[in-house]
Amino acid sequence: GKLVSISEPITFRESASYLGEIGAWMQDPVVGGEQIYVIKIIGENQVRKLFEYANMADFRNHRNEVVRIVPDAMESNGAVVYNGSLYYQRRNSRKIVRYHISTQQVLRQRPIKQAAFHGAQAYQWGGYSDIDLTVDETGLWVIYRKTRNESEIKSSTRLPKNCSVQKRGVANAFIICQVLYTVNSFSDANAINFSYNLNTRTRQKLKIPFINLYRQNVMIDYNPLNRHIYSWDNGYQVAYKSKVDDS
C-alpha cells in the first residue's frame, strides 16, 4: 500500500492539565477492542504509569481508568501497545522491554545495538525521543538513530532486516505497509515530506499535507487496524484518517 493523503485532524480530548503536553495514546492493532492506552510524560524521571480506559467515552470523560505501574522507568513517549503487550524503551538505556499488560510481567528485554539514546539523537522536538517504536500491517518496528551518524535513521524489524535513510531535521516518523514516512516539522505548518520503501529500498520526496493543529506535535503513530494516525499535539489527543492505495 501507498499513502495517498491524510485527513484533517480530529480532536478527541484536551488533557494538558492532567496528562501533560507530552505523551502517547494508542489502541492495540492486533488484539483490537475499544481499549485506549495512555502514557504521560511530565518531565519526571520515573515515568512508569500506563493508563488504560475501557473505551473512547471513558477516555474522553476521564473515568474508570486503570493505572498499571511498569517495572522500569520509560524513556520518552516512543512506546507502543502491540498484541497485548506494551513495548517501551527503558530509561537511559537502549534496551527495549516487552511488558505483558494483563499478567503485568516482563516477557523479554533486548538492546538495540548502536542506537543513540537519552537525547543524543532525538527527534526535532527533543524529549529523549531517540528510539521510536511503531507498528504497521507487517508487525512491530523500531526507528532509531545510530550514535555515530547524526543524519542516519535506522528502521528494523525484530528480525535482522534493516535499512537506512539519510535525513536531517526530522520531526517524527511512522511506517505504513513497510514504507517509512517522515514529517518535516513538529511546530510549523508541516508535511509528510519523504518516504523510504523498506522492501525495494527506494526513496521518494513527498509533499502530503499534515495539519499540525496545536503546533507542538510530539507523537505520531499509525494503527493498521483502523488506518488512523494518532498524535499528541500540545496536550491534545488527535487522530487523522489515512488514505492508502492498495492497488
Question: Following DSSP, what letter does each residue of 77-94 receive, concatenated?
Answer: T--EEETTEEEEEBTTSS
pLDDT of amino acid 190: 80
Q: Give the pLDDT confidence of 170-208 residue by residue, as tens digits.
A: 899 999 999 999 999 999 888 899 999 998 989 999 999
CATH fit for domain 2-245, picks 1.10.10.10, 3.20.20.110, 3.90.550.10, 2.115.10.20: 2.115.10.20
- Residue 228 near residue 241 (C-beta atoms within 8 A): yes
Whether the model pTM is above 0.95: no
- 3-state DSSP call for residue 58? helix
Q: Hey, what amino acid is at 118?
A: H
CA atoms of 82 and 20, how far apart (whole Å): 24
Per-residue confidence (pLDDT) for residue 167, from 0 to 100: 40
**Per-domain residue ranges of the chain:** 2-245
Name 145's Cβ contacts closer than 8 Å, sequence gap at least 6.
Answer: 115, 116, 120, 121, 130, 152, 153, 154
Place of cell 539519510: 166
DSSP conformation letters of 121-150 = T--TT-TT-SSEEEEETTEEEEEEEBTT-T
